[in-house]
Structure 1
Amino acid sequence: MFEQWRRRRAVKRIDPGDGSPLKRFRWWQLLGRSLFHLDLEDQGRRPVRYTVDVRQWKTDDNGYVKVHLFRDGRQHAVARAPAVFPVEGGAIEVAVSQFGLKRCHLVTDDGAEHQLVPDPRSAEGRRARFERRRPGLSRLVGAVSTVALLVGVALLLQQIAVPVLRIPPIAERIGPVDPLVVLPLWLNIALAVAAAAASTERALRLRYHWLLDAAGN
């Protein structure tokens, strides 16, 4: 019920596109633009290509990221993220985080989900190519990203827990509480940078976990 309401609400936010052509992906847009493609057939069994174009660093007046949907190279629709675009046989769902996309999938009418294909020139496309060519090294990089975020979550939980446990009524019951780990400033900064890099790496693979990646945001 809630999911249906959420999708209906997202569909209402769609504005028609202006028919402008899809701009070519440029190398300097690697960390600020996501481009994904989906090939379908229309009702006449003719091929049609949808392209999702998201500029993460370009927001509207209210601070929302805009998602642009192109059909055969022409702007078809625009909506703020999270966006849902009805297409043949289902809907394209797009959601963003502070470090990129966390979702860009076709959800078919029968409930199946398929991730759209990243443009080979985009950062997501380059990451996908690296995964195909070096699967073992790719898994290692993914594991390092997860560990970096786990460390960040642990430190965040400590920062939250210690002040709470020092509240007088609680401290009187359990005694004085000190942080388990005290890090120098330079290491705190290094871990913060590592967590941001890990969240970016996971976003390139459209991996998102509410605890891990939200803590890294």
Structure 2
Amino acid sequence: MATTWRTQWTRRRVRPGDGRALKPFRWWQMLVGRALLHLDLTGPDGRPVRWSVDVRHQGDADGRVVAHLYRDGRHDASSRVPALLPAGGGEIEVRTSAAGLRRCHWTAPDGTVRPLTPDPRSAEGRRARLERRRPGLSRAIGAVSVLALVVGLGLNLLQIAGHVSRIPPIAETIGVFVSPVVLPVWLNVTLGLAAALGAAERALRMRHHWLLDAAGT
């Protein structure tokens, strides 16, 4: 595993757990941004161990998003995200974005990487179930999400170009850029909402591209 200063700093943020019980996922928690994922491993004694990661995207009282790690339903550790939580001899990496989860994977001591499985009652779990049961529909939804983000990215770039070109030294050198696309306010708002929904849909599948998904957040 990498041992850069950033990795070491992330590891030092881990705090021991308090042993409290993991609360079951309720359907309405999809609406308030709770993510719950599980990882089933075999312990050193040969018995199965379930590791669970619980993330509340709305953040704590200070607005910080914290990943909580549970071992067999008991609170084992916590850390602000991005987080590296020790589990089963390896580490669970948790990363989030404004739209939701970016990554929740376990890296074994030998370097093998394995994604955690979303709780079936969570939004991520329901999206994974749709992908298994209706792969054609799932691919279509994914394609629409990408299209919405591409359109959103294009509009963002046009607007940025217009603002940058108005900076006096740039305007004097190359002139002011006028966007060839002028949309009514209602359509701008609609496309912005579509891009946000596209980013949220991709976050349910833990898909993230630094430029593409930024268009929806």
TM-score (ref. length: structure 2): 0.93
What residue is the counterpart of 1:40 in the other structure? 41
SS class of match (2:18): coil
Q: In the superposition, relative to structure 1, how do residues 71 and 176 fare at CA in structure 2: closer, same or farther (>3 Å)?
A: closer
SS class of match (1:193): helix
Give 1:100 shift: 1.1
1:51–1:73 contact (8 Å) kept in structure 2: yes
What residue is the counterpart of 1:56 in the other structure? 57
Q: In structure 1, give the amino acid aligned to 2:92.
A: I
Distance 2:176 2:77 in 1: 58
What residue is the counterpart of 1:107 in the other structure? 107
SS class of match (2:191): helix
2:100–2:204 contact (8 Å) kept in structure 1: yes
Q: Runs in 1 of length 4+ with deviation above 4 angstroms?
A: none
Give 1:176 shift: 4.7
Structure 1 unaligned regions, length at least 5:
none
What residue is the counterpart of 1:190 in the other structure? 190
What residue is the counterpart of 1:121 in the other structure? 121
Q: Percent identity?
A: 59
Q: In the superposition, relative to structure 1, how do residues 170 and 44 fare at CA in structure 2: closer, same or farther (>3 Å)?
A: same
Give 1:197 shift: 0.7
Structure 2 unaligned regions, length at least 5:
none
Q: In structure 2, give the amino acid aligned to 1:94.
A: V
2:162–2:176 contact (8 Å) kept in structure 1: no
Q: Deviations over 1:20-62 (max 9, x none)?
A: 101011010013110000011222222110000011113242x
Aligned length: 216
Distance 1:190 1:105 in 2: 34
Aligned 1:1-217 pairs, distance under 5 A:
4-31=4-31, 32-61=33-62, 63-217=63-217
Give 1:173 shift: 4.2
1:60–1:66 contact (8 Å) kept in structure 2: no
